[in-house]
Structure 1
Amino acid sequence: MIGGMAVPLRKRLRRGARSLALRVLAALLGRLPLRAALAVGALAGRLAWHLAPGTRRLMLAHLALAFPEKSEAERRAVARASLVHLGQVALEVAALRRYRDRLEAYVSIAPGGAELVERAMARGRGLVFVAGHIGNWELLAQRLSRLAQPNAVVAKRNADAWLNGAVERLRAEGGLETFWREDPATGRRLLRLFKRGGGLGILVDQDTKVQGVFAPFFGRPAFTPRAAADLALRFGATALVVTSHRRGPGRGAGHELEVVELPYDPAPPDREAEVLRFTAAALAIQEAAIRRHPAEWVWMHRRWKTEPPLKGSLASAVPKSRELSGT
């Protein structure tokens, strides 16, 4: 029942057919060796450029806002490369079981990053990994779980129940719990995680229906989830901003993670101001990473869709819902 009304039979059949097709496709793609999966993902991305004109237009519009100094040809090249990258991201995740035993080699950590994670875990107050849809965020979480345990990510359920279960199982195999935003038990699970000194990953680079603040992103106010700041301040947890990028253009080159500690005032005189400062600082680190690797971000996302309450304001708090922020 949705809104007190039964879902129409035609819609249920369509959903069932889509879910079955997804299961078959996932089973087939999951059998591919990594290099073959990357080739298939790249092909899917190239096809998407030609077959999805709406997505293409949206990406180019957002790239024009973010990089007005680039030519149209340069922005088109970034958009095409971004779709290829995203196709490869999806297939890297689908084929993860084929190379999980080589994950530490495939996803390296820049010098000093592992030490930051280890010192944060040693403090025993928990750790907030502030991440975004940059590089391969699923492999980022899987790799960090090798350093920080217990470990969890906050995510939003998809409409497809089978897909939710498949993703949850894949994460669990890598030592990652999934805390669903919509689950009433998530609050209690968060408390237990931080009491055990564990790590929590939160994606903060999208405009979603969660509580958030406005912070600058490519020179424009962008509505940004605030949960990372709120949780760090509540538990006194260490905050690390982690970004991912491909190590090279060659197929199978893998990824590298960059880890930056985000200092904050644990007992601020103005808590709301500290949430704003924290969130803006995290977003600035993410923007810098995207500028270095512009083809590795999700340019089709409507990042600036929510208007700030006051035109031109770059930082203000706005509640959208009581849900935690996540994917």
Structure 2
Amino acid sequence: MNSTSSVSTSYPWYYRPLEWLLLGLAHLPLSVLYVLGRGIYVLMAYVVRYRKRVVLENLRNSFPEKSAAEIAQLARQFYWHFAQVMVETIKLAAMPAAELKKRVLFRNPEVLERHFAAGRTVLGLSSHAGNWEWVLTSGAVWLSAHADGVYKPLSNPFFEHFLYRLRTRTGAGLIPMRDTLRDMLQRKGEVRVVSMLSDQAAGPEDRPYWTTFMHQEAGFYTSNERLASRFRCPVVYVSIRRMRRGYYEILLTELYDGDAPLEPNTFPITAAFVQQLEHDIRLYPADYLWTHRRWKHKRQG
């Protein structure tokens, strides 16, 4: 399997005008797109009230020390952040690699590069914080080794095609989530980074690691532990933080060096990931994806 192979371009003809519109918008300057973003913000926050109940519930439970007014303000800040991420993602369809490299600064790429120099595959654990769509695409520009991202294919054929195109246009590859183990087996020993968004809500059937996250019990996927243990891959936490509008910095923190064997049925990597993620959310609370139903599952038994 080649993770960089193109996804099918077959989708209904009536999506063509939408594709032309999105590609046309992508060629506009970001300053103009942020004006459009203001309209999206108003629409989501005040007209459609997109998942407003979920957003407010998540914020109240995560920050019980904040007043109702502070929660409402944080929700507004989140919707503005989300609107910016949306137009920045559209811009990827036409943004030159050189411009992307200027807008996303890797502060300490040597954390990854030393493992690449040793001929190793590295697992990069990230989250829906900052602009998560710019992490993989900028990594493909910044790093000396190949960058692949594990993703969940969309059921809508047009949006699957369009987002696949955005995410791979700077040279990154994509691996469907269900094919991750097969890909790791077939490309064992390849020098690359495999990026995983590791903050999705894991259900009981996923053998989750349960812990307290933002004052709430949450289950986390443990596939990164199993992959790191089986293939002795170093694991790095990837933090993306907004410096100012349209500019981000990426900070890398090593969670596991890939050398010491991991004890079975222990989850030190996932526990360290959760700790790092909560630290980032508390520093930049408006920049996390609060529309996501992160705490929808409950521990069984």
TM-score range, shorter chain: 0.7 to 0.9
Q: Which residue of 2 aligns with 1:101?
A: 98
Contact 2:137 2:168 in 1 (8 A): no
Q: Which residue of 2 aligns with 1:86?
A: 82
Question: Aligned in 2, Cα 1:304/1:31: closer, same or farther, shift over 3 Å?
Answer: same
Contact 2:43 2:49 in 1 (8 A): no
Question: Aligned in 2, Cα 1:54/1:247: closer, same or farther, shift over 3 Å?
Answer: closer
TM-score (norm 1): 0.81
C-alpha separation in 1, matches of 2:154 and 2:202: 14
CA deviation digits over 1:258-286, x for unaligned, max 9?
Answer: 21110367423x3111xx22212101101
| Match for residue 40 of structure 2 among 18, 36, 44 | 44
Comparing 199-208 and 140-149, the one that deviates more = 140-149
Q: Which residue of 2 aligns with 1:27?
A: 23
Contact 1:215 1:279 in 2 (8 A): no
Superposition deviation, residue 169 in structure 1: 2.3
Superposition deviation, residue 54 in structure 1: 5.7
| Match for residue 69 of structure 1 among 47, 50, 65 | 65
Superposition deviation, residue 128 in structure 1: 0.4
Q: How many residues align?
A: 286
Comparing 207-216 and 78-87, the one that deviates more = 207-216
Comparing 198-207 and 93-102, the one that deviates more = 93-102
The 4+ residue runs of structure 1 with deviation greater than 6 A are none
C-alpha separation in 1, matches of 2:264 and 2:98: 43
Q: CA RMSD in A?
A: 2.2
CA deviation digits over 1:126-156, x for unaligned, max 9?
Answer: 1000000000111111122221522210111
Q: Which residue of 2 aligns with 1:139?
A: 134
Question: Aligned in 2, Cα 1:22/1:223: closer, same or farther, shift over 3 Å?
Answer: farther
CA deviation digits over 1:87-135, x for unaligned, max 9?
Answer: 111211211223432112101123xx21111112122221000000000
- Give secondary structure in 1 for the equivalent of 2:297: coil
TM-score (norm 2): 0.87
Q: Which residue of 2 aligns with 1:195?
A: 189
Contact 1:93 1:138 in 2 (8 A): yes
Superposition deviation, residue 290 in structure 1: 0.9
C-alpha separation in 2, matches of 1:158 and 1:115: 34
The answer to whether 1:172 aligns with 2:168 is yes
Q: Which runs of 5+ in 1 are unaligned?
A: 1-14, 311-327
- Give secondary structure in 2 for the equivalent of 1:267: coil
| Match for residue 303 of structure 1 among 289, 294, 301 | 294
The answer to whether 1:213 aligns with 2:203 is no
Contact 1:217 1:283 in 2 (8 A): yes
Q: Which residue of 1 aligns with 2:264?
A: 271
Percent of paired sites with the same residue:
28
C-alpha separation in 1, matches of 2:51 and 2:87: 20
- Give secondary structure in 2 for the equivalent of 1:279: helix
Comparing 99-108 and 292-301, the one that deviates more = 99-108
C-alpha separation in 2, matches of 1:164 and 1:88: 21
Q: Which residue of 1 aligns with 2:6?
A: none
- Give secondary structure in 2 for the equivalent of 1:307: coil
C-alpha separation in 2, matches of 1:105 and 1:81: 25
Superposition deviation, residue 302 in structure 1: 1.2
Q: Which residue of 1 aligns with 2:4?
A: none
Question: Aligned in 2, Cα 1:21/1:298: closer, same or farther, shift over 3 Å?
Answer: farther
- Give secondary structure in 2 for the equivalent of 1:247: strand
C-alpha separation in 1, matches of 2:183 and 2:250: 27
- Give secondary structure in 2 for the equivalent of 1:189: helix
Q: Which residue of 2 aligns with 1:321?
A: none
- Give secondary structure in 2 for the equivalent of 1:98: coil
| Match for residue 117 of structure 1 among 112, 116, 120 | 112
C-alpha separation in 2, matches of 1:124 and 1:295: 38
Question: Aligned in 2, Cα 1:195/1:77: closer, same or farther, shift over 3 Å?
Answer: same
| Match for residue 250 of structure 2 among 248, 257, 260 | 257
Q: Which residue of 2 aligns with 1:282?
A: 273
Contact 2:34 2:84 in 1 (8 A): yes
Q: Which residue of 1 aligns with 2:5?
A: none
